[in-house]
Chains A and B, each alone.
Chain A
């Protein structure tokens, strides 16, 4: 019933740790064998007592019985410790790989999922797998060792009882094996219900300010309440399935225990064994039954882990990565050419082209301004150049190379962007500017100085090591000394630090007031100097430094040329927009005509 891929995933996770697993299993065998010795000692004890033995042998046997318990406990601690360490090693590796995949996945992948849902996969599901590896795998192994040991001990100590004990153990093992997957489906549904609830909570928490100020708290709570109700039902169904499974196991336990006593009584009536031997057989089966009963409570976790592994496997199986190659871009400033590039988003229901096939050439080191109204295709152009989407037709050529053939590392090192929404991380100023890359204080301070954040930095208590609150609910004021505008400056510093060859500024300065914008004009100039750059902006003043201008409308280029030439031509769209933008608002109607 379990899909093979999650099992394979779990197996492939264990493979690199074969040696540790083997050492672990050995320690486990010792921890397991000791209670068997305990059962033997108990039988010996009963026999000694029945024979009316003296205190000496009795006390020695009793002490030995106690010591086996002590030894078993000590070994169990050791086993738990090694098992936990191993489980965390393995699953942290998986968490790393999964986070890597999520961070590389394409835009549509992220569009279909809330961050809350992805965190549930990368964190919650993998935690489940850790618990599974750390506890359940150990117990299953222990039971297998114990069951084999039990049969062996019975065979050596009381051969006459062997058929009864072996049959009991076989019954237990078979039934447990048969019912092990009974609640897999229900467990998968339960986990999905939990992920849905967490994802619901996440989106309303992230939008708490909006919800609170619109008096809509009850709406968010009601949405979560619906998901919580789903969870209660899913848990009930899972528990029902689980208890069905446990019920079957318990009835098998009853059969095995009563069966071994019945067989023992039969053997006793024939004079093959004494009563102490029957008690010994009963204790042996009970040892295994106790362990299986304990495990049956954890079997849900097995199923949870297998469901978790299944979801993780599914997520990775989607292969939602934009195609990347292995090529390297030529050194120096890079030319950018869009060669018949068109774009239709996969998930666009109307199948509307975001960009109609267009040709556009950006000479190395040129600064190109792209204007157009919302939805005209500016952002799509930027996404294509950043290889966040693959073109539906045509090629994007950078430095003469098809972008699809360039390796991801090279592409990201050479081409970067300053996005409109700046995301901060929980961490220090240093972390946030360098994005966790090792960088010297001088480099970081120079970058911050270039964008005009030096005074702000000086005002911080611990300088570069001051911690920033990354909570995105705090859009402006509540962030530690960082307004939305300052966050955009910080994003400019991030880009400066990388020393790229192609830069995309996507509305990067829309939230910066004119005064601040003038102050960082030099920094932007420094960022784009000697680099090929595309500036997307609504405010024409941002584009005064541009060499070329491209005007987009409805996914088509409607005008392009050197900025100076377009500005000199009073009939050009650019110069008419400029005239209007500087002479404020009432020509808006005409602007609409121009850009329609």
Chain B
């Protein structure tokens, strides 16, 4: 990792490890592709022979046999690429899929804000998941294409050299120079590409926000104004995209033109030395194929830049790789891809019965949480109250590891917890956020979230959360599809579903952030009653009188 060579080819090494995930598909397909690159050599050589024979002995001799060989070669090439590309695409798609799952996994890992950087908006993450894996895997494609073409070029030089060394040099020599010159043009391409990507993200990000908030936009009658902003962002994206695409074309066209120039030069030299029509055909055909060499080199340069841009965008979504641990982007995992069987099941730590939870000098700078001292004994209800912006939510989120602490510590049965995000998960703790999220799955899947929870336990949790009457009223019961983000449930139902989801884990500690804000007083009362009767230890943020009246301890934040 420390040698200069390893640093230069860092991206290639990562991607080699990645494609090894379904390596058989990838490499078989790539081998087919490499052969495909060399086939024009055979067909070009045959074309030369066909014309040479036509000129020297007309349609007699073996002319028709040679022409038949040419037809066979063309058809064999067509069949080869057909098989190779399907095989290759399976390998590539699997590799891209692995990157997507690895990235989501890192984002969803119980690491929270500290372990995985989370400052990227969802819309932006989606754009990255959609586009960037392609540009990353494509890094290796550039190499495969280049290698294929270099084999072809070596063959071409060998064949043409035998016919006429000077004409060969006239065609090949300058092309090498052009390829090297391309190296320097890549920098601009990279800058334009990054800019295009950024403005594309801005559009997606804004669209995601606007569509998520479509109700707000509609009620405020702000469609027109929102669309005007969208147009501004659209225009900016169009400008950067046009620059990106046009510049790309400039690169490729300049190369083609240069190559044509040198083919012309080679032909003049060749003609001066008395080549026949068949040989001229061979020169024109084979050298035209070599046109792609400088283009491929510049493609590789551009591709390596694109890899860097995309890898930079993806890597911020993942935790920093540890020296001893595998690269989180390319780590191989069990996936249901191409016969891989079902994906990994959730891992559940061992239960550590809670006696006492203590907060010592807990401080989250800038969020109003300053030197908080609090003790929660087993079976207690402790309520955090305070005005808007006092830091109730921040305190709870910091306890469960969704926010880093600037100072202080959280102790479980007297022992400080180093990695709170990893520790405060079921069965130790379950957290219900202020605006809980539900998913477009069945109600049962929403409540279990992959954990092994029996039907009876689930029914108990639903009853505890005062959600049983609602569920009984659903025609499909627990099988009810609750729609995107649970929109088929009312606000109160969604909160009770989220509470049931947490209770189903039978956690040692329940952390509830303003759970009852959408519940009426009666439902709220029933909820606290049942939680107390079931002996739960609860840390809750609330200003509601019912909660404050019940609490064993109230922590007032200012």
Given A119-B126, A247-B78, A221–B105 Cβ distance below 8 Å?
yes
Q: Is the CB of B267 within 8 A of A477?
A: no
Q: What's the least CB distance linking A431 to chain B, in Å? A: 7
Q: Is the CB of B525 within 8 A of A585?
A: yes
A592→B92 CA distance, assembly (Å): 60
A123→B233 CA distance, assembly (Å): 12
Residues of A within 8 A of B249 (CB): 76-77, 80-81
A475 on interface, CB distance cutoff 8 Å:
yes
**Can you list, as one digit per residue, whether each of B447-491 has a CB less than 8 Å from chain A (1) or not (0)?**
001110000000000000000000000011000000111011011
Given A239-B89, A513-B388, A225–B110 Cβ distance below 8 Å?
no
Q: Is the CB of B85 within 8 A of A99?
A: no
Q: Is the CB of A386 within 8 A of B336?
A: no
**Can you list, as one digit per residue, whether each of A213-233 has a CB less than 8 Å from chain B (1) or not (0)?**
111111111111110110110
Give B316-352 interface residues, CB cut-off 8 Å to A: 335-338, 340, 342-349
Given A50-B277, A119-B207, A213–B429 Cβ distance below 8 Å?
yes
A204 on interface, CB distance cutoff 8 Å:
yes
Q: Is the CB of A229 within 8 A of B267?
A: no
B: contact size bracket: 35 or more
Among residues of B, the one whose C-beta sits closest to the C-beta of A240 is B86
Give the residue of B127, B271, B346 whose beta carbon is less than 8 angstroms from that of A219.
B346
Residues of A within 8 A of B518 (CB): 374, 420, 507, 510, 538
Among residues of B, the one whose C-beta sits closest to the C-beta of A114 is B484
**Can you list, as one digit per residue, whether each of B227-269 has a CB less than 8 Å from chain A (1) or not (0)?**
1111100110110011001100110011011011101110110
Residues of A within 8 A of B260 (CB): 38, 65-66, 68-70, 73
Q: Is the CB of B337 within 8 A of A246?
A: no
A92→B238 CA distance, assembly (Å): 8
Give A454-505 interface residues, CB cut-off 8 Å to B: 456, 469-473, 475-478, 483-486, 489, 491, 494-495, 498
B1 on interface, CB distance cutoff 8 Å:
no
Give the residue of A72, A100, A232, A592 whose beta carbon is less than 8 angstroms from that of B94.
A232
Residues of B within 8 A of A69 (CB): 256-257, 259-261, 263-264
Q: Is the CB of A110 within 8 A of B54?
A: no
A103 on interface, CB distance cutoff 8 Å:
yes
Among residues of B, the one whose C-beta sits closest to the C-beta of A216 is B449
A89→B261 CA distance, assembly (Å): 36
A124→B208 CA distance, assembly (Å): 12
Residues of B within 8 A of A469 (CB): 119, 121
Residues of B within 8 A of A417 (CB): 219
Given A66-B261, A73-B254, A236-B90, A45–B449 Cβ distance below 8 Å?
no
B181 on interface, CB distance cutoff 8 Å:
no
Stretch at the interface among A19-27, A149-157, A262-270, A361-369: A262-270
Give B211-227 interface residues, CB cut-off 8 Å to A: 211-223, 225-227
**Can you list, as one digit per residue, whether each of B57-69 has a CB less than 8 Å from chain A (1) or not (0)?**
0110001000100
B190 on interface, CB distance cutoff 8 Å:
no
Q: Is the CB of B71 within 8 A of A201?
A: no
Given A218-B344, A581-B521, A475–B89 Cβ distance below 8 Å?
no
A: contact size bracket: 35 or more
Q: Is the CB of B130 within 8 A of A80?
A: no
Given A212-B112, A411-B221, A220–B104 Cβ distance below 8 Å?
yes
A228→B14 CA distance, assembly (Å): 21
Most A-side CB within 10 Å, residue of B344, B435, B543: B435
Q: Is the CB of B246 within 8 A of A512?
A: no
Q: Is the CB of B67 within 8 A of A261?
A: yes
Give the residue of B204, B209, B231 whose beta carbon is less than 8 angstroms from that of A92.
B231
Residues of B within 8 A of A548 (CB): none
Q: Is the CB of A426 within 8 A of B205?
A: yes
Most B-side CB within 10 Å, residue of A408, A424, A512, A584: A584
Most B-side CB within 10 Å, residue of A89, A123, A210: A210
Given A217-B346, A585-B549, A374–B491 Cβ distance below 8 Å?
yes
Give the residue of B219, B220, B436, B439 whose beta carbon is less than 8 angstroms from that of A203.
B439
Stretch at the interface among A248-256, A309-317, A561-569: A248-256
List 13 A–B pairs whose Cβ atoms lie within 8 Å, in order of A's numbering: A53-B271, A69-B256, A74-B253, A103-B210, A103-B226, A197-B100, A205-B107, A215-B346, A254-B75, A265-B54, A374-B518, A489-B388, A510-B518
Among residues of A, the one whose C-beta sits closest to the C-beta of B249 is A80
Give the residue of B264, B402, B425, B550 whose beta carbon is less than 8 angstroms from that of A585.
B550
Stretch at the interface among B5-13, B151-159, B355-363, B390-398: B390-398
Q: What's the least CB distance linking B475 to chain A, in Å? A: 5
Give the residue of A50, A102, A231 whose beta carbon is less than 8 angstroms from that of B93.
A231
B4 on interface, CB distance cutoff 8 Å:
no
A16 on interface, CB distance cutoff 8 Å:
no
A95→B238 CA distance, assembly (Å): 12
A207→B486 CA distance, assembly (Å): 12
Q: Is the CB of B100 within 8 A of A473?
A: no
10 smallest beta-carbon distances between A and B, as pairs: A412-B221, A69-B260, A207-B437, A485-B388, A219-B450, A423-B213, A254-B74, A215-B425, A476-B393, A374-B492
Q: Is the CB of B342 within 8 A of A222?
A: yes
Q: Is the CB of B271 within 8 A of A58?
A: yes
Residues of A within 8 A of B172 (CB): none
Q: Is the CB of A232 within 8 A of B343?
A: no
Q: What's the least CB distance linking B48 to chain A, in Å? A: 10
Give A54-85 interface residues, CB cut-off 8 Å to B: 55, 58-59, 62-63, 65-66, 68-70, 72-74, 76-77, 80-81, 84-85
